Structure 1
Amino acid sequence: MANDVTQKLAVLIDADNARPAIVNGLLAEVAKYGTAHVKRIYGDWTGPNLNGWKAALLDHSIQPIQQFAYTSGKNATDSAMIIDAMDLLYSERFNGFCIVSSDSDFTRLASRIREAGLLVYGFGELKTPKPFVSACDKFIYTEVLASEDDDEKEAPAAPRSAKELRGDTRLVNNLRGAVTDASDESGWAALGGVGSILNKRMSDFDSRNYGFSKLSGLIQGIGLFDVEERQHGNAKHVYIKLRAKGK
């Protein structure tokens, strides 16, 4: 998916379903896709459970939106977020939305925003239900965004072995399909084109989920492709090709 820093984005955070430790990584990730013209976070700020967010809000100029829980067991925060999102959508001032939550209640919201022709970037934990993940143009798991000073942060995941990667049928099939779709008549495909197709095929695709900081590392690690660098002007570009069987 091509990134465009000129995109105007609205960032809406469900405080009940996101940790303050992700905020630095979250906003850095958002900056890859555009500029956050609106940054709002929703929750009941009268309770103690959101205290960890308060310092982060000041540091990053995120506007807290107060939402009381009207009825026990019902999440009024979700409703407030959805209403605000629709108001912002109808303002026609934005190119896309960043929805930060692991709650499946936002699935229809993501679909509705995309129906209007805007991009949706989802951010949530690995437990996020698949329907919400699939409803977004791009979904980033927040486990890869937690800050280094987070006491709850686990050690960075080690890159998966070639055997583990090859055992992931969904990953292998989508990688092969993306290379085939992006390849020229000789079978070689530019890595950038492969990455673009992968993001369209798998909204939650991210090489970091497999322990690799870049797609090139994942391609090398899985060992199913031939890789070569080509010089184009002053820049080097990576090309990949399905490896012949038996090699």
Structure 2
Amino acid sequence: MATHSSTTTQKHLAVLIDADNAPAAIVEGLFEEIAKYGVASVKRIYGDWTGPQLGGWKKVLLDHSIQPIQQFAYTKGKNATDSSLIIDAMDLLYTRRFNGFCLVSSDSDFTRLASRLREEGLTVYGFGEEKTPKPFVAACDKFIYIELLRDEAAQSPNAEASVESSVTPDAKPVAAEKPKKPKAPIGFITKILDDIADEDGWAHLSVLGTNISKLRPEFDPRTHGFKKLSDLIKAYPQTFELQARGASAGGTAMYARHKPPSK
């Protein structure tokens, strides 16, 4: 397991990006998301930089201090990028300098790598498209669909300003129809809550979130139209109760419970 001074609580993360299976459009949202989990101490991206297909990534590498790793396609139809990324991941693992890895790809070839890193006690955060094969998703501690990162980028003030500036005075912008958000897995959340609740039925909200992620690494309230788990819980007052309590270190702690049936 990685060794670090007890004076710091920040996780040191190695970010490894498969350029062949991740679009450059997510770069802003990607590193904002990674910042929630720790410090991106190493940032590397793998691909064949001699071709034009990675032009989008080339434009943003310097801005985000991402180190490009050149990998030639030695054999047509074989993905040498995967092998290079995996070898580097294992080299970084054995330095014992990291608490976790961020694997950015929708490729199931990294399933065993994710499992191996977790065997060493490291946290693995996966980032990929919704089409990512289930085995890779399940092999990660937490899996974030990059479509969510794209949605957040599109909703940012800068994105809105750029859209408005591109519209002529006489033209009326056409509101893009937003895809319908999938319904939240209320039954699943209820079962987890019942399993971890105290004698009065209450459970710390962060513990609830941790246990949900253990069973469904891909679970994310944003997928269902909610910014946080607490917002999702609040949206179902007929099923859940939410309570704020004073925390020992000051501030408040949120607790939730499955609402008892009315008598």
TM-score range, shorter chain: 0.7 to 0.9
Matches within 5 A, 1:155-174: 164-165=183-184, 171-174=185-188
**Is this contact kept in 1: 2:181–2:223, CA < 8 A?**
no
| Aligned-pair CA distance for 1:239 | 2.2
Q: Assess, with a 3 A threshold, how the Cα gap between structure 1 residues 158 and 216 changes in structure 2: closer, same or farther.
A: farther
Of 109, 119, 136, the residue aligned with 1:105 is 109
Of 242, 247, 252, the residue aligned with 1:227 is 242
Identity %: 58
Of 180, 190, 199, the residue aligned with 2:213 is 199
The TM-score with structure 1 as length reference comes to 0.87
Of 208, 211, 224, the residue aligned with 2:225 is 211
The aligned residue for residue 196 of structure 2 is: 182
| Aligned-pair CA distance for 1:246 | 5.8
Unmatched tracts of structure 1, length 5 or more = 166-170
TM-superposition CA deviations, 1:125-176 (whole Å, max 9, x none): 101000000000111111111223499xx8766665xxx33xxxxx234311
Matched to 2:99, the amino acid is: N
| Aligned-pair CA distance for 1:7 | 1.3
Distance 1:190 1:140 in 2: 23
Distance 2:24 2:203 in 1: 40
The TM-score with structure 2 as length reference comes to 0.82
Of 236, 239, 242, the residue aligned with 2:252 is 236
**Is this contact kept in 2: 1:5–1:31, CA < 8 A?**
no
Q: How many residues align?
A: 234
Q: Assess, with a 3 A threshold, how the Cα gap between structure 1 residues 229 and 93 changes in structure 2: closer, same or farther.
A: closer
Matched to 1:26, the amino acid is: L
SS in 1 for 2:242: strand
Larger Rg: 2
Q: Assess, with a 3 A threshold, how the Cα gap between structure 1 residues 228 and 117 changes in structure 2: closer, same or farther.
A: closer
Distance 1:158 1:236 in 2: 34
The answer as to 2:131 corresponding to 1:117 is no
SS in 1 for 2:136: helix
Of 78, 85, 89, the residue aligned with 2:82 is 78
Distance 1:178 1:240 in 2: 11
The aligned residue for residue 126 of structure 1 is: 130
RMSD of aligned alpha carbons: 2.3
Distance 1:7 1:232 in 2: 24
**Is this contact kept in 1: 2:101–2:124, CA < 8 A?**
yes
Judge which range, 77-86 or 174-183, deviates more: 174-183
**Is this contact kept in 2: 1:5–1:35, CA < 8 A?**
no
Matched to 1:105, the amino acid is: D
The answer as to 2:30 corresponding to 1:26 is yes
The aligned residue for residue 21 of structure 2 is: 17
